[in-house]
Amino acid sequence: MDALDRRNNALNLNNPGNTVNGGTAQIAITTHGSDWYFAVCAVMTVAGFAFMGLAMRKPRHQRIFHYITSAVMFTAAIAYFTMGSNLGFTPIGVEFPRSNPKVAGQFREIFYVRYIDWVITTPLLLLDLMLTAGMPWPTILFVIFVDEVMIITGLIGALVVSRYKWGYFAFGCFALFYIIYHLAWESRRNASRYGADVGRAFLLCGSLTSILWIVYPIAWGVCEGGNVIAPDSEAVFYGVLDLLAKPVFGALLIWGHRNIEPSRLGLRIHDYDNVATDDAVHKKRPQNDYGTSAGASTSGTAPAATAPTEVLGGNTSAHPTHNV
């Protein structure tokens, strides 16, 4: 009969009593929270395979957004499986002890695996958005750096017992405001230059991300920061946000890119089949008297390529090209 018992027994098998690193978390998830984490894990997994399936319907050089978004889903699925299994946490003393039985105790369960998830997935989400907007690589890299600062300061704050945690919270909020500024202003304006369809795709996904990410600090404040709501409620709060910020975001992004060629965004992605074809074509070109292909430069210097430009609103601007 035990083999047929399908109850969630993770809390009894993994870290029974919620004792880790010599500390016991009295404020921890119950079986209900564990069930919810496993449910979110299942949704993330299905979404990841769905995006991979959609990628197979595209030529390899058009799958970049499918692959990035699938990586987000699978990473989140592993994190949620870990939390549902009652792993990846450490007990941390609470700054604000509460009398409410659901949050009563001296130590709260802090899932550091959640931040490992975010430190991987949030840069990928930003990469999805900023590549859609056709932003130059230096800007993309710096915004991703700021994002990493936001996540790491959030983790440090969650692990600090004293009121100094709110200093790290403030650092994270400043980083978040900078990211929101880029999404709402710089990237949005740049995306509109690539056409109405690109502008719509970015506006939809960028707006969703901006709104949801603003809510995350509120969740942090009532969970890890202020010990206001129970860990089961924390699981639902973060889980709903992550479901909207990842699978729903991914579905909207892939749908928005259905008729957008990556090359339009300055992404020059070379497929090995295309490279082989190009080599074959090059070999078949007629040779001139200098032993080089017709049309090639004989001075050892290749002719300069002229980047395509667009005239928008009376201004001429060249789109950045990302070689992949």
What is the model's pLDDT at position 154? 97
Cα-based distances in Å from 303 to 76, 111, 269, 288, 293: 47, 56, 22, 17, 14
Q: What is the mean pLDDT of residues 37-46?
A: 98
The CA distance from 237 to 130, in Å, is 27
When pLDDT is averaged across residues 186-190 and rounded to a whole number, the result is: 94
Q: What is the mean pLDDT of residues 277-291?
A: 46
Pairing of strands 107-111, 322-323: unpaired
Is residue 297 one of the residues assigned to a domain? no
Residue 303 lies in a domain: no
Give me the mean pLDDT over the 218-231 stretch: 97
> Within a domain: residue 62?
yes
- The boundaries of the domain holding residue 132 are 10-263
Among 10-19, 59-68, 78-87, 274-283, the least confident range? 274-283
The residue whose two tokens read 């300069």 is 304
Of the pLDDT bands very low, low, confident and very high (cuts 50, 70, 90), residue 4 is very low
The pLDDT of residue 316 is 39
pLDDT reported for residue 43: 98
Stretch 196-220: mean pLDDT, rounded?
A: 96
Other Cβ atoms less than 10 A from the Cβ of 2: the count is: 4
pLDDT digits (tens, 9 = 90+) for 94-148: 999 999 999 999 999 999 999 999 999 999 999 999 999 999 999 999 999 999 9
Assigned domain for 281 exists: no
Residue 285 lies in a domain: no
- Alpha helical stretches, state H, 57-136: 64-84, 112-132
The pLDDT of residue 275: 53
DSSP string, 141-169: HHHHHHHHHHHHHHHHHHH--STTHHHHH
Whether 15 maps to a domain, the answer reads yes
Give the rounded percent of residues in the chain with a pLDDT score beyond 90.
Answer: 73
Q: How many domains does the chain have?
A: 1
Domain membership of residue 294 (yes or no) is no
Residue 311 lies in a domain: no
Q: Which are the contacts of 259, defined by CB distance < 8 A and separation ≥ 6?
A: 197
Strand partners of residue 91: 109
Return the CATH number at 192. Answer: 1.20.1070.10
Give, to the nearest 10 degrees, the angle between helix 165-181 and helix 137-159. Answer: 160
Confidence bin at 308 (pLDDT 50/70/90): very low
The dihedral through the CA atoms of 29, 33, 38, 44 has a sign that is negative
The whole-angstrom separation of Cα 287 and Cα 173 is 62
302 — pLDDT class (breaks 50, 70, 90): very low
Give pLDDT, residue 272: 72
Cβ proximity of 284 and 99 under 8 Å:
no
pLDDT tens profile 49-105? 999 999 999 999 899 999 999 999 999 999 999 999 999 999 999 999 999 999 999
Choose the weakest-confidence range: 9-13, 33-37, 155-159, 298-302: 298-302
109, β-bridge pairs: 91
Which of 31-45, 77-91, 118-132, 279-293 has the lowest average pLDDT? 279-293
What is the predicted pLDDT for the residue at 323? 55
pLDDT at 22: 84
Residues 136, 147: Cα–Cα separation, whole Å: 17
Are the CB atoms for 89 and 112 separated by under 8 Å? yes
Flag whether pLDDT at 3 surpasses 90. Answer: no
Taking Cα atoms as reference points, which of 18, 11, 13 lies closest to residue 32?
11
Whether the pLDDT of residue 47 is over 50: the answer is yes
Q: Are strands 19-20 and 23-24 parallel, antiparallel or unpaired?
A: antiparallel
**Mean pLDDT throughout 212-218?**
98
- Name 225's Cβ contacts closer than 8 Å, sequence gap at least 6: 95, 157, 158, 165, 166, 169
